[in-house]
A and B are shown apart, each in its own frame.
Chain A
Amino acid sequence: MSRVLLLQGNQAVVEGAIAAGCRFFAGYPITPSTEIAEELAKQLPLVGGKFIQMEDEIASIGAVIGASLTGKKVMTATSGPGFSLKQELFGYACAAEIPLVLVNVQRGGPSTGQPTSPSQGDVMQARWGTHGDHWMIALSPSSVPECFDLTRRAYEFSERYRVPVILLMDEVVGHMREKVVLSDDYENLPQPMRKQPTCKPEDFLPYDGGEDGVPAMPPFGIGFRWHVTGLIHDETGFPNGSPEATVKAMDRMYHKLADHYDDIVRVEEFKMEGAEFAVVAFGGAARTAWDAVTMARAEGLKVGLVRPITIWPFAQKHMEKLATQVKGILVHELNCGQYVGEVERAVKGKVPVFSYGKYDNEPATPAELLAEIKKAMGGVK
């Protein structure tokens, strides 16, 4: 049986989290992500889970790291300045390979910025916000149903690859309401699981990646007394400052994601059959692009949309291929131009790459984007 609901994107995230088995949330109020905390405060106890409002954003991600170590699926959610604060322990979760889902409903920045306005200004911060080389996953939904689906996928990836996953939303998607069809009984849905050790506790090497580079992660309290640290460590989990151990640890963490590109990096194409020009857009901005591309097609223009759903790792192979298919690319995003730099890097000048960044607190209208498409296509000819 299923339920038909009219939900906000933020509420769909909550449903996705409960469906994926999230049983612990720690957060701090901040616009425009607060509904996620409010809704989980209500829902988690109903399924035996726990919600806690911590004293700040850093404490919130700290608490979810702790709960994750006990085997719980966990979430924290934030926006703007809160995302900056969470970077410290997000890096810890990368280094110690702690599964967690961090929702960032982006708002305009920098600083307090535009708290209630849509923005995609945290694209690069999501990738490089914490210090040091590190690898993580970020997913960006474009609709309310996709908020549900991608939240579940975030847990799948987080648990499968033992990595923190960012759900990179924007205010458009977070606060918009759409029809969502949800299962009546989430227990019938597949539950993402962490790899568990198959050896005896005395033989356990907590950071031995095995064949796929992903170490097993037993919960605290069942006999595997392992050590967790943000210092660079070897297979034993204890700090190791040698050049060899450092390179080995870093390479494993890189490869455990890079070697699974086809599983992790999802990109959706819309009207790309015979397209000579491509718009690249994601999240809330892709909604404008759907309409603008449809309008362009109606006018006979051979335009399609490429929508990265996985924002990080970057859709390198997809963009390299795209550069061989079309004569030009326009990247539309709600910022001054961030993702476009990555696209240019992949395209390597094979075709012209144009940027339509919008940062005036409002999403573009399809007509505005269509005008930019035409302008760019004129530049190609």
Chain B
Amino acid sequence: MSTEALIDKYFRPGRLPHIWCPGCGNGIVTGCIVKAVEQTGLTRDEVAVVSGIGCSSRASGYLDFNTVHSAHGRALPVATGVKMGNPKLNVIVVTGDGDCTAIGGNHLIHAARRNLDLTVVLFNNSIYGMTGGQYSPLTPFGSKATTAPYATIEHDFDVVELAKAAGATFVARGTTFHAQLLTDLIVKGMQHKGFSLIEAVSACPTSFGRQNKMGGPVEMILWQRDHGVMKAAWDKMTDEQRQGKFPIGVLHEDNSKVEYTVAYDYLIKKAQEGKK
């Protein structure tokens, strides 16, 4: 199917153009999500998209699935209920860096720990865009933000390492420059039976780029090209060569842990058989 036909199929009629700023990476990531859904062969009825609050979380309203635009930080708890209520649904969680790792940070580590079959697509634009450019837990140390006029002195999370440590069984990172890779990673995440997190490195020219003199949309997407390194190459690099760069691709996969809804079905069976 052509990309144009894909957009027509998966976007709700009459909802485009979207609200995102010129050069915002959110549209690219959202495009990767619908391409990924098409590749999985799932019908639109079999997919639920749950988002939080923020720029990226507006994606749910555009997409023609069962969609929830929940509350700030709360996409994962709501998605937990959707998945447990109907395990047949393939649940994609759309969230941003502030939504997922600040106000929703506790939910992130616990959803990962449970290994519930959710696919989190974390749109990481390093800033709170909707409120106009405040620093988030993923804003790099030393960056400027409206709430860090002298540059932030807070160390940022590496959300890939955070998710791994919390027990996520599939963790990957892509960028909007590496859009084909990002689509592939989302497909793998959706097919993975367990908790998956795909960090999508994305540009916010309006609120992050401008404050940090990173140039416009073009310079910011080229920055991703120049700083994202495929895992195979990354593994061969020295610490010195890795300075300022980040690995992309599938960064962690563990198929040894039972998925939560599968475990729950077993629990129900055991309870009904009268065992303890």
Among B48, B65, B67, B81, which residue has its beta carbon within 8 angstroms of that of A24?
Answer: B81
Among A71, A222, A228, which residue has its beta carbon within 8 angstroms of that of B67?
Answer: A228
Supposing A45-B271, A221-B46 touch, asked if A62 and B77 sit within 8 A by C-beta, the answer is yes
Q: Which residues of the other chain, A, contact B264 by a CB distance below 8 angstroms?
A: 50
Return B232 CB to nearest CB of chain A, in Å: 36
Supposing A46-B271, A66-B82 touch, asked if A229 and B44 sit within 8 A by C-beta, the answer is no
Q: Please name the residue on chain A nearest to B267 by beta carbon.
A: A45
Is B74 an interface residue, CB under 8 A from the partner? Answer: yes
Supposing A67-B84, A70-B85 touch, asked if A220 and B66 sit within 8 A by C-beta, the answer is yes
Is A219 an interface residue, CB under 8 A from the partner? Answer: yes
The stretch that binds B, out of A31-39, A52-60, A152-160, A298-306, is A52-60
Among A45, A61, A72, A225, which residue has its beta carbon within 8 angstroms of that of B268?
Answer: A45
26 of the cross-chain contacts (CB-CB < 8 Å) are A48-B272, A50-B264, A58-B77, A59-B80, A59-B110, A62-B70, A62-B74, A62-B77, A62-B81, A63-B81, A63-B84, A67-B85, A71-B85, A71-B86, A89-B71, A219-B86, A220-B82, A221-B46, A221-B89, A225-B65, A225-B67, A226-B66, A227-B12, A227-B69, A230-B70, A238-B61
Q: Please name the residue on chain B nearest to A61 by beta carbon.
A: B77
Is A342 an interface residue, CB under 8 A from the partner? Answer: no
Please determine whether B89 and A59 come into contact, CB atoms closer than 8 angstroms: no
Q: Which residues of the other chain, B, contact A52 by a CB distance below 8 angstroms?
A: 80, 84
Closest 8 CB pairs of A and B: A66-B81, A62-B77, A70-B85, A67-B85, A45-B271, A63-B81, A67-B81, A220-B66
Please determine whether B82 and A70 come into contact, CB atoms closer than 8 angstroms: yes
Please determine whether A26 and B81 come into contact, CB atoms closer than 8 angstroms: yes
Q: Which residues of the other chain, B, contact A225 by a CB distance below 8 angstroms?
A: 44-45, 64-67
Return B158 CB to nearest CB of chain A, in Å: 22
Q: Which residues of the other chain, A, contact B70 by a CB distance below 8 angstroms?
A: 62, 65, 92, 228, 230
Return B276 CB to nearest CB of chain A, in Å: 10
Please determine whether B77 and A70 come into contact, CB atoms closer than 8 angstroms: no
Please determine whether A229 and B61 come into contact, CB atoms closer than 8 angstroms: yes
Interface residues of B (CB under 8 A from A): 12, 15, 44-46, 48, 50, 60-61, 64-71, 74, 76-86, 88-89, 106-107, 110, 264, 267-268, 271-272
Known contacts A67-B84, A225-B44; can you find 6 more A-B pairs with CB under 8 A? A50-B85, A59-B80, A92-B70, A226-B66, A227-B67, A231-B69
Is A68 an interface residue, CB under 8 A from the partner? Answer: yes
Return A232 CB to nearest CB of chain B, in Å: 12
Interface residues of A, dominant DSSP: mixed
Supposing A62-B74, A89-B71 touch, asked if A221 and B66 sit within 8 A by C-beta, the answer is yes
Please determine whether B89 and A220 come into contact, CB atoms closer than 8 angstroms: yes
Please determine whether B272 and A45 come into contact, CB atoms closer than 8 angstroms: yes
Supposing A64-B81, A66-B79 touch, asked if A54 and B61 sit within 8 A by C-beta, the answer is no
Is A110 an interface residue, CB under 8 A from the partner? Answer: no
Please determine whether A62 and B65 come into contact, CB atoms closer than 8 angstroms: no
Docked CA distance A46–B71 (Å): 32
Q: Which residues of the other chain, B, contact A230 by a CB distance below 8 angstroms?
A: 69-71
Q: Which residues of the other chain, A, contact B44 by a CB distance below 8 angstroms?
A: 225
Q: Which residues of the other chain, A, contact B79 by a CB distance below 8 angstroms?
A: 66
